[in-house]
Structure 1
Amino acid sequence: MTGKPKLYYFDGRGKMESIRWLFAAAGIEFEEEFLETREQYEKLLQDGDLLFQQVPMVEIDGMKMVQSRAILSYIAGKHNLYGKDLKERALIDMYVEGTTDLMTLIIMYPFSSAEDKEKKRAVIIQKATNRYFPVYEKILKDHGQDFLVGNQFSWADVHLLEAILMVEEKKSDVLSEFPHLQAFKARISNIPTVKTFLEPGSQRKPVPDDKYVKTVKRVLQMSF
């Protein structure tokens, strides 16, 4: 046993990618076991490892944690990425929930039918530019600080950068009307641990492809 956290998920982004991002930002090395067969998934179920019969699952500090939000909160709290008091934690939670809403649309995008994809891409861009990014642009403009909360690097910053990059994959100039977010993206991307994760050869996963979609559907026996 190496003592490194071990991540159980598919060889792709999905709900595990934000967990990979947060570990990487905290400078924590982790191992991964990729689910490729239904049998692997059923063994986790039979062993009682998946409390709610769902992945992601992370083995850490003697626990087998499920539910993405609980896992992320634990990592953020453990590695000083969750603010310095309850008020800052509440702000981080609010901002993270906002980016999660946006990212959920993008996570589900690869599972859309071919005829629906262009429509859903337009919805993602519309919501990013009209509902979500203006909020973070205003926060950064109003307080004039480098980070979203407490002028220190937090989970909220990691999550927002991940969301920005995901939307840019759908529309490369999506930040053209958001100068503070452009500067934020550059700053956070140059934090050493984040910069390393963004480089080729890291455990960051690529844009989901057909192979990833087929694997998820096969393992989870999804019909759509």
Structure 2
Amino acid sequence: MPVELEVREVTAGYPRVPVLRGISLEVSAGRLTGLIGSNGAGKSTLFDVVCGRLRPSHGRVLLGGREVTRAATHRRARLGLGRTYQRLEVFGSLSVAENLLVAARAAGSGDPAQAVADTLRRLGLADFAAYPAGKLPTGVARLVEIARALAGGARVLLLDEPSSGMGTGELAEFAATLRALRADGLALLMIEHDLDLVAEVCDEVYELREGLARPAGLSPAA
């Protein structure tokens, strides 16, 4: 499967305090890569570099083989990059369908209404289409975040602690959703503290420590 995301020798952080020191990793289509590490290890900093919120002092970021190291955030989104956040970020006053419609319209291609309908079915959210997003259970709201990225045309998806706040039953359903997205050919990079979930669904796992990414000693998903 083609490599959709490449991070090459990236160094980044804040003035005189580099957080990442020559990070390299890649994520291919149809693969789910886990990213673990202690708080402050630089996981969210790496996501900020990939998304364009933080410019690295050294190194390169490529999406689908295209150089995007200095590209704006919206440009990367147009090239198929989507992201969710540890803290839920849905438009609470809008319905689920309206949340997706905002993203589909921003993508600027195809039929936004059809993209919304297709994505609702894909994520099993059709029954929640008219429901206010701000009143959803945590597990469903997490799916809405993912659905919004997909409605916007994401092919590479960055998931920042997506299991936060989920109960046991929700986690089992979420694991099945991740497998389905992987089977659909998405390239997924996931920050996650639930190591059982990581070991269950990820194809490979990196641990961030001392500014470097090393293969983690976790058994990959079958």
Same fold by TM-score greater than 0.5: no
Report which of the two structures shows the higher radius of gyration computed on alpha carbons.
1
The structure that is strand-richer by fraction is: 2
